């Protein structure tokens, strides 16, 4: 994943977390985990996201 992709994901997660604030605690925890993963990936250049669920098995 490119650095720009991670920045976009973080912005989307931040926006979602703001909307969820005060509602579902487990959703906020999920958003925090995504932030941690995204910031960890940023610190590891060359890290590949790997295959996605939509990848062709063939």
pLDDT tens readout for residues 14-40:
777 767 666 665 666 777 787 777 777
Residue with tokens 């959703």: 27
* Angle separating helix axes 3-20 and 25-42, nearest 10 degrees: 160
Report the distance separating Cα 51 and Cα 43, nearest Å.
Answer: 20
Domain annotation covers residue 50? no
Domain span at residue 16? 3-42
Q: Which residues contact 47 (CB under 8 A, 6 or more apart)?
A: 1, 41
Domain tally for the chain? 1
Query: Is residue 11 pLDDT above 70, yes or no?
Result: yes
Domain annotation covers residue 35? yes
Cβ atoms of 47 and 1 closer than 8 Å? yes
pTM of whole model > 0.85? no
For the ranges 4-8, 9-13, 26-30, the lowest mean pLDDT is seen at 26-30
């Amino acid at each position: 994943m490119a650095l720009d992709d991670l920045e976009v994901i973080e912005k989307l997660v931040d926006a979602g977390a703001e909307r969820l604030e005060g509602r579902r605690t487990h959703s906020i925890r999920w958003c925090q985990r995504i932030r941690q993963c995204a910031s960890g990936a940023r610190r590891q250049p060359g890290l590949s996201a790997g295959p996605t669920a939509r990848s062709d098995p063939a």
